[in-house]
Amino acid sequence: MNSADTLDDEDTFKILVATDIHLGFMEKDAVRGNDTFVTLDEILRLAQENEVDFILLGGDLFHENKPSRKTLHTCLELLRKYCMGDRPVQFEILSDQSVNFGFSKFPWVNYQDGNLNISIPVFSVHGNHDDPTGADALCALDILSCAGLVNHFGRSMSVEKIDISPILLRKGSTKIALYGLGSIPDERLYRMFVNKQVTMLRPKEEENSWFNLFVIHQNRSRHGASNYIPEQFLDDFIDLVIWGHEHECKIAPTKNEQQLFYVSQPGSSVVTSLSPGEAVKKHVGLLRIKGRKMNMQKIPLKTVRQFFIEDIVLADHPNIFNPNSLKVTQAIQNFCLEKVEEMLENAERERLGNPRQPEKPLIRLRVDYTGGFEPFSVLRFSQKFVDRIANPKDVIHFFRHREQKEKTGEEINFGELITKPPSEGPTIRVEDLVKQYFQTAEKKLQLSLLTERGMGEAVQEFVDKEEKDAIEELVKYQLEKTQRFLKERHIDAAEDKIDEEVRHFRESRKKNTTEEEEEVREAMSRARAHRAQSEDLSSEFSVDDLASIDMAEQMANDSDDSISATSNKGRGRGRGRRGGRGQNSAARGGARRGRAFKSARQQPTRSATSKNYSE
Amino acid sequence: MNSADTLDDEDTFKILVATDIHLGFMEKDAVRGNDTFVTLDEILRLAQENEVDFILLGGDLFHENKPSRKTLHTCLELLRKYCMGDRPVQFEILSDQSVNFGFSKFPWVNYQDGNLNISIPVFSVHGNHDDPTGADALCALDILSCAGLVNHFGRSMSVEKIDISPILLRKGSTKIALYGLGSIPDERLYRMFVNKQVTMLRPKEEENSWFNLFVIHQNRSRHGASNYIPEQFLDDFIDLVIWGHEHECKIAPTKNEQQLFYVSQPGSSVVTSLSPGEAVKKHVGLLRIKGRKMNMQKIPLKTVRQFFIEDIVLADHPNIFNPNSLKVTQAIQNFCLEKVEEMLENAERERLGNPRQPEKPLIRLRVDYTGGFEPFSVLRFSQKFVDRIANPKDVIHFFRHREQKEKTGEEINFGELITKPPSEGPTIRVEDLVKQYFQTAEKKLQLSLLTERGMGEAVQEFVDKEEKDAIEELVKYQLEKTQRFLKERHIDAAEDKIDEEVRHFRESRKKNTTEEEEEVREAMSRARAHRAQSEDLSSEFSVDDLASIDMAEQMANDSDDSISATSNKGRGRGRGRRGGRGQNSAARGGARRGRAFKSARQQPTRSATSKNYSE
């Protein structure tokens, strides 16, 4: 199919990489309802056509924590259609699968199950949209896993420590250590990294012969002090990080700041918010790994709905828009009409080259009306485009530069927060709202038995994940815990004594954030025993004695669609027709790999992040 | 395992029959939460141990229309565990599978799918609890079907006509025509039977060589004039009906009134209401069919929670209970305590023989306090049994003989209807409430655009099946329909004219019940095109020329657990140790099978119920 094929041999892993497919997003929408299903079909077909060894997903396969029947049904249908068949799987797994898939009822890789004829195994971590919830700590991926169609890995729900055991894969002479970490609230994971509670286990034998691939689903760009995972937190020995969660396609691997490893951010395969990052063309990746060399071939997705976004600042055009003119609103409207028509023309021109793309594009015109202008009625404007735009109702988005307002005390205006347009400005979490509410509430409304954090998380579970019992479970758990405390201290005296003890108990809990967090997690999920068990199993590695190939440079690849990771961030990377990109690659420092690790069998090898990261 | 095994040969179908498993019933209950999962495990294990050819389910595998993740997960787990494997399936399918499984994305039987290693195929119709809903008309079974673990058949959503195409199975010389009809609202199906809109297609060749097995999930006992399906409605040529929906175990086949066919009512495998029918011991059946002979072996379920129910009529014991005595309440309470203790002792004694049964039984004592008695506080009574009874909160049920009340006009007391105790008296349907509400509402509250039936069905879907969009879809549909009507009549004049036309349109619709019903169904589900298509396919039968064995009598079977269907309803049938039951069987009338049917290929053979049934 393309020149890269000549590189494919019995030592080369071919992996289709995708993240954030968000199956079921807007499934009720008459126009956009099928978009995610069509694109999953495209992605799986690409995997089949390219004869990949496996598919690697970086989380958020589903948009909803509890996907609709239709979404689940379609997903099963497509996986069964494309990932089952007679083509043999060409790689083997060397690690202990009962550790890798310890949470599953069928703790082994699906293609080795004698009852299932799998041609393309899918490996996936869960994202924040489809993470495990409820007393049974199951997620939507587990349904697919139980049906034998997906290998869900990278699960770790402990708040005390995370040991990431890799899946060890071998194809010919190439060995991949595949690490995964399903989505965890960013602040929690941040703190665990800082407290050295995150450990990546390494095979004890021939440590340097492995290509270390890590799949993570977290905020990559900074949202507040600790609401993201800085790349510096990650272990040096990693070769490539597949970073899920971020929707902007930056799939070409780039070196991180310290020049120690590469990061590829595939981005979502559907536009879920009308923001600039989503307007970047969507791709999946065909990742080739041979020995310790890699190559990421970008594959443009052809079924993704077009999305064009433009900004207008009215105040920048004093010659056209005079805020004092009577006809200014008409002028603005005409200008916007022209602008949208222009964007539609662009869309049509581009679509000519791609008949598989849905007809109606997504269009967004952001109009900054700071400076005394008035927004016009969007309703009538929208109606003009009902038949030509997929999102007629929100084509125009008026906004003003935010003026710094004086703080009016501690009061929260819930109404204001809720009517805030989505995908603009920092996201406000339900959890924080609840916390703020109870902290600023009148004395008599303040919580005495329950904790704000607990309530916050429970409400969040309830809202985000339709987890109907989350609040009830928390209340029950914390009530029982308080009763236990009182019993232990033999408080069965007068009522005021009890009040005092409860207050005391509460204060003591507040001081210990970790403990409280732990408690909340426990309340949310009673399935901890099972989890702890599989976490404590030490991974047994039986690695064959293969020559370790040093990863000196990227594989050369001059095909049109392909981008090789470059060695310097600063060096411009082109898209499309540019030859000889393989020469851009550079040797990676060999010294850091000289670190001595203990045998994983005697004592799990740890390489906990030792860097001090400070904000 | 038992003497029946000697009968098993290459011509004998062995079928595990079960209905109303209600997976997920009370899954949040701390005591009873796992009951349905444990029993499904038992049932599937029985199928495996008895090496059945297939499992036949009569609907309501799931309790909720939208089963929880845990329920779905457990179901997939158990089906994958027990129904996949290397044991070869010994029968073949002769009918056109694309007709039998036309609604499925994979319209063929699962065991013939090269990618799935099925050892026990499961065939199931859907029940009223897990029937198809929503715009995509999917049901929970379809998830299992899409995952390749269940063969969902007997789907027919048309309100105009139902053609039931059998799955034609052959094992050696035995041939079964398996008919199925998933749950349909009783009134609708009743009317369709009366209007001869239900047709059972028959294989054109060697019509009489088939064992005709029909699985249905409807009310069997009469609930109101047309809120059930009289056995007389069913076709004469049927040999055995497996009747789902009714929870009382009456699994031993009994002849229907006309002595024309047998009916087996397996009953539920879990107690979902504390009523006498549910106290009958639960069984599944091992159905053997050889030629046109059959035998139903009762298999008692050992994991089903015990349930004991007793009634006390206080007025029947004037010596013990004097309503005028000051201590009467205490006396009643003591009497009830003793009674419950007695029932608990019975339970324990019985449980000794069955260690797999859950420890805490279900106990219900119904106390008729008619005659001036007062109920005592159930709360304190319940607390005494928290550790010994699975349902401590509703052990005691006080009731009085209902006195005939004078009708107070047309008003409905919603409060009264809602606080009515469940599982007592006739069920009130949401649909009827809505209808009644709008019909008796003040003029200004009456519906003008929407129909009461439509609103009723939409509200019912919303309530019963958590179908969030049901109401919206109906409103949208009926609004569009009205607009279309007005457009066609070019009504764009004055407002009062429109009102009049709308009224006219509405009246016209009211007159045609069938049309309205059709319309409502259409609004509920837009997937009709697909359905209509598969309904119109004429079934192609290619039946081998096997000798037709007349079904003269039941197979002899003297094993302990086995009950052979007897020929006369009046003749007493024993349970347990009684030999020579095979001799009870009698020849079935051969004349009715002499009916001449047309070739199914030229014109689908119809045997629509020709009896006139009148109430």
Residues A116-153 have pLDDT tens digits of 999 999 999 999 998 888 878 899 999 999 999 999 99
pLDDT at B29: 94
* Burial of B484 per CB tally in 10 Å (0-12, 13-18, 19+): exposed
The residue among B94, B143, B148 whose CA lies nearest residue B116 is B148
Residue A408 has pLDDT above 50, yes or no: no
Q: Check pLDDT > 50 for residue A391.
A: yes
Contacts of A28 in chain B (CB under 8 A): 469
d(CA B144, CA B57): 13
- How distant, in Å, are the alpha carbons of A202, A218, B554 from that of B256? 70, 65, 16
Q: Mean pLDDT, to the nearest integer, of B393-407?
A: 74
pLDDT over 70 percentage in chain B: 73
Residue B401 · residue B372 · CB < 8 Å: no
Q: Using one digit for the tens of pLDDT, what is the confidence trace for A257-316? A: 777 899 999 999 999 999 999 999 999 999 999 999 999 999 999 999 999 999 999 988
The residue behind tokens 């509703």 is B394
Does the beta-carbon distance from A147 to B80 stay under 8 Å? yes
Q: What residues form DSSP beta bridges with A255?
A: A262
Beta strands (DSSP E) in B562-605 are: 562-563
Cβ–Cβ < 8 Å for B228, B218:
yes
A-B Cβ pairs (cutoff 8 Å, strict)? 85
More confidently predicted of A414 and B312: B312
Mean pLDDT, chain A, integer: 78
- CA A141, CA A107: separation in Å to the nearest integer? 14
Task: State mean pLDDT over B498-503.
Answer: 74
pLDDT at A282: 97
The residue type of A338 is: E
CA distance B178 to B111: 17
If you compute the radius of gyration of chain A from its CA atoms, what whole number of angstroms results?
Answer: 26
- Residue B495 CB partners (closer than 8 Å, separation 6+): none
The per-residue pLDDT for A207 is 85
**pLDDT one-digit tens code per residue, B260-305:** 899 999 999 999 999 999 999 999 999 999 999 999 999 999 999 9
Contact A73 B117 (CB under 8 A): no
So what's the pLDDT on residue B478?
A: 75
- Closest partner residue to A147 (CB to CB) among B76, B134, B135 is B76
Q: Which of A73, A77, A144 to mutate to test the interface with B (most CBs of B within 10 A)?
A: A73
Percent of residues in chain B assigned helix, strand, coil, to nearest 5: 35, 15, 50
**DSSP E strand boundaries for A280-381:** 283-290, 293-300, 307-313, 362-368
Distance from CA of A76 to the nearest CA of B (A): 6
Whether the per-residue pLDDT at B534 is higher than 60: the answer is: no
In chain B, residues with a C-beta closer than 8 Å to the C-beta of A143 are: 69, 72-73, 76
Percent above pLDDT 90 for chain A: 53
Chain A residues near residue B115 by CB distance under 8 angstroms: 80, 84-85, 116-118
Chain A residues with CB under 8 Å of B134 CB are: 69-70
A345 is written with which tokens?
A: 């023309």
For position B486, what pLDDT does the model report? 72
Taking the C-alpha atoms of residue A180 and residue A152, their distance in angstroms, rounded to an integer, is 10
The tokens of A17 are what? Answer: 């990489």
Query: Which of B69, B114, B138 lies closest to A73 in CB terms?
Result: B138
Burial category of B113 from C-beta neighbours within 10 Å (exposed 0-12, middle 13-18, buried 19 and up): middle
Q: Are A133 and A491 in contact (CB under 8 A)?
A: no
Sign of the C-alpha dihedral computed for residues A530, A535, A536 and A537 taken in this order: positive
Range B338-367 average pLDDT: 93
Tokens 């069955």 correspond to: B354
Interface of A with B (CB under 8 A): 28, 66, 69-70, 72-73, 76-77, 80, 84-86, 105-106, 114-118, 134-136, 138-140, 142-143, 146-149, 469
Please spell the DSSP secondary structure of A425-489, one letter per residue: SSPPPHHHHHHHHHHHS-GGGS-SSS-HHHHHHHHHHHHHH--TTHHHHHHHHHHHHHHHHHHHT
| pLDDT tens-digit readout, A13-52 | 999 999 999 999 999 999 999 999 999 999 999 999 999 9
| Res B563: pLDDT | 37
- The model scores a pTM over 0.95: no
Interface test with B, best of A115, A152, A477 (most B CBs within 10 A): A115
Minimal Cα distance from B137: which residue of A?
Answer: A70
Put simply, the answer to whether A76 touches B147 (Cβ < 8 Å) is yes
Chain B: residue whose CA lies nearest to A105: B77
Q: Which of A69, A105, A114 is nearest residue B77 as measured by Cβ atoms? A: A105
Contacts of A199 (CB under 8 A, 6+ apart): A161, A162, A163, A164, A604, A606, A607, A608
Q: What is the mean pLDDT of residues A514-523?
A: 65
Which of B72, B105, B117 is opposite residue A143, by nearest beta carbon? Answer: B72
Model confidence at B194: pLDDT above 90? yes
Average pLDDT over residues A192-220: 93
Q: Is the pLDDT of residue B551 over 90?
A: no
Measured in degrees and rounded to the nearest 5, phi and psi for residue A410 equal -100, 0
What beta strand segments (E) does B87-173 contain?
92-93, 122-124, 151-152, 162-164, 167-171
The whole-number pLDDT of residue A151 equals 98
Q: What is the ipTM of this complex?
A: 0.74
B223 belongs to the catalytic site: no
Q: Which amino acid is at A466?
A: E
pLDDT at A430: 67
Instruction: Express each pLDDT in A171-201 by its tens digit.
Output: 999 999 999 999 999 999 999 999 999 999 9
pLDDT of residue A518: 65
Say whether pLDDT at B25 is over 50: yes
Whether the predicted pLDDT of A360 surpasses 90 = yes
Domain covering B3-304+541-594 in this structure, CATH number:
3.60.21.10
Contacts with A34 from chain B: Cβ below 8 Å: none
Give A9's strand partners.
Answer: none
List strand residue ranges (DSSP E) for B248-406, in order.
Answer: 250-255, 262-265, 283-290, 293-300, 307-313, 362-368, 396-399
Residues in B closer than 8 angstroms to A105, CB to CB, are 73, 77
pLDDT value, residue B521: 65
In Å, how far from its chain's centre is CA A180? 12
**Which residues, including other chains, have CB under 8 Å from residue A442's CB and lie 6 or more apart?**
none
Q: Do B143 and A72 count as a contact with CB atoms less than 8 A apart?
A: yes
Between B382 and B462, where is the model more confident?
Answer: B382
Residues A469/A523, Cβ–Cβ less than 8 Å: no
> Would you tell me which CATH number, out of the four given (3.50.50.60, 3.40.350.10, 3.30.110.110, 3.90.180.10), belongs to the domain B307-389+395-399?
3.30.110.110
Return the domain boundaries, chain A. 10-304+542-594, 307-389+395-399, 430-511
Q: Which of B27, B78, B115, B141 to mutate to test the interface with A (most CBs of A within 10 A)?
A: B115
Query: What is the mean pLDDT of the segment spanning B541-567?
Result: 33
At B569 the pLDDT is: 32
Give the pLDDT band of residue A322 (cuts 50, 70, 90).
confident
Q: How close is the nearest chain B Cα to the Cα of A549, in Å?
A: 37
For B270, B312, B338, B360, B389, the CA distances from B345, given in Å and listed in that order, are 22, 18, 10, 12, 12
Interface test with A, best of B68, B73, B150 (most A CBs within 10 A): B73
What are B13's strand-pairing partners?
B289
Tell whether domain A10-304+542-594 is in CATH 3.40.50.10490: no
* pLDDT value for A421: 39
Which of these is catalytic: A126, A129, A217, A283?
A129
Ranges assigned E (strand) in B349-393: 362-368
Given a contact cutoff of 8 angstroms between Cβ atoms, the answer to whether B244 and B266 are in contact is: yes
Q: Which residues contact B74 (CB under 8 A, 6 or more apart)?
A: B23, B37, B40
With a cut of 90, say whether residue A213 has pLDDT above it.
Answer: yes
**What's chain B's average pLDDT?**
78
Q: Give the pLDDT confidence score for residue B374 in this predicted structure.
A: 87
Indicate the residue of A70, A80, A146 with minimum beta-carbon distance to B76. A146
Q: Give B108: exposed, middle or buried? Use CB within 10 Å, 0-12, 13-18, 19+.
A: middle
What digits encode the pLDDT tens for the residues B419-473? Answer: 333 333 445 666 677 777 776 766 666 676 677 777 777 777 777 776 777 777 7
Per-residue model confidence as pLDDT tens digits over B32-61: 999 999 999 999 999 999 999 999 999 999
Contact by Cβ (8 Å): A32, A389: no
pLDDT band at B411 (very low <50, low <70, confident <90, very high): very low
The shortest C-alpha distance from A283 to chain B (Å) reads 28
**From the list A66, A70, A106, which residue is nearest B138 (CB)?**
A70
Which is the catalytic residue, given B22, B129, B247, B283? B129
**What's chain A's length in residues?**
615
Q: How far is B143 from chain A (nearest CA, A)?
A: 6
User: Are residues A118 and A55 in contact, defined by beta-carbon separation less than 8 angstroms?
Assistant: no
How near does any CA of chain A get to the CA of B117, in Å? 5
- Which of A69, A134, A142 shows the shortest C-beta gap to B143? A69
Contact B106 A80 (CB under 8 A): yes
Q: Which residues of A touch B147 (CB under 8 A)?
A: 76, 80, 147-149
Q: Assess whether pLDDT exceeds 80 at residue B102.
A: yes
Nearest CA to CA, how far is A202 from chain B (Å)? 32
